[in-house]
Structure 1
């Protein structure tokens, strides 16, 4: 199963904190970091030293998308603050979905946005991949509900906005 990690971040985010959030999000959802094929974000954050450093550490390409392209993605947790500050109602979720869509596959959001207050991450994968379906079903079956809609890292659910 190929995975894309979408990231929204404030300008003050530190690489170590972002890397920790990504690692915790993947591990907490039973996802193998070796399956990640890219890190995706809004184009104005693609040159952020923290994002560049994390992508390099993990050996992932860093993809940047214009806010207008991200605004076209339907996401479960849009943010009015992100709309005002970035020009799109979502960065992390939308970037992950857009990156999968750009491979020609229909995306599914495996992990909705998780935040630590300075960054937000989300994870998407191709919907047609049998491993994606098994992972998603197992997560729903374990919790009796779709736990991907729960922010378990605390913090401001709208912190993916860049200021």
Structure 2
């Protein structure tokens, strides 16, 4: 099974903030960190130091998508954020990115296993496929 973590974050969000959110959401879902296949986000965050550091720390690839690529998942989101849309052009980065990468990696349909979780600086979602 392919498990993909989708992440959205504010500029300057540090790796510890992202890791705390990821670990707490996975613990809540009863999923071990080592089962994660990859990380996903929006292309405007591909060089974000916190996301890059998290990818390195977890030894997982980080794949980013354009707002247009993420927008096609809008009707499948658990939460549509006007704030996210104003900043990125899509209504939910974490859920959309998780679905997009899970479907790409598995060459088939994906679903949200853990819907949007957030803290003050970041959002998290987990999608599965296969």
Flag whether TM exceeds 0.5 (same fold).
yes
What secondary structure, in the 3-state scheme, does the structure 2 residue paired with 1:11 have?
coil
- Of 108, 122, 125, the residue aligned with 2:125 is 122
Q: Shift of residue 14 of structure 1?
A: 0.9
Aligned residues: 127
**Compared CA separation, residues 17 and 54, structure 1 to 2 (3 A):** same
| SS at 1:20 equivalent | helix
Instruction: Give the aligned partner of residue 17 of structure 2.
Output: 17
Offset of residue 80 of structure 1: 1.1
Is 2:9–2:123's contact at 8 Å kept on the other side of the alignment? yes
- Correspondence for 1:42: 42
Alignment of 1:51-70 (within 5 A): 51-70=51-70
Aligned to 1:102, the other structure's residue is in SS state helix
Answering whether residue 100 of structure 2 is matched by residue 87 of structure 1, we say no
More RCO (CA 8 Å, sep 6+): 2
Shift in Å at residue 82 of structure 1?
1.0
**Residue of structure 2 in register with 1:159 after alignment:** none
Shift of 1:38: 0.5
Q: Distance in 2 between matches of 1:71 and 1:48?
A: 21
User: Highest CA radius of gyration, 1 or 2?
Assistant: 1
Matched, 1:97 2:93: no
Residue segments in structure 1 that go unaligned for 5+ positions in a row: 130-163
Cα distance between partner residues in 1 of 2:85 and 2:21: 23
Of the structure 1 ranges 77-86 and 53-62, higher mean CA displacement relative to structure 2 is found in: 77-86
Q: Measure, in 2, the Cα distance between the counterparts of 1:20 and 1:14.
A: 10
Tell me, yes or no, if the aligned pair for 2:6 and 2:125 is still in contact at 8 Å.
Answer: yes
- Regions of 4+ moved over 6 Å: none
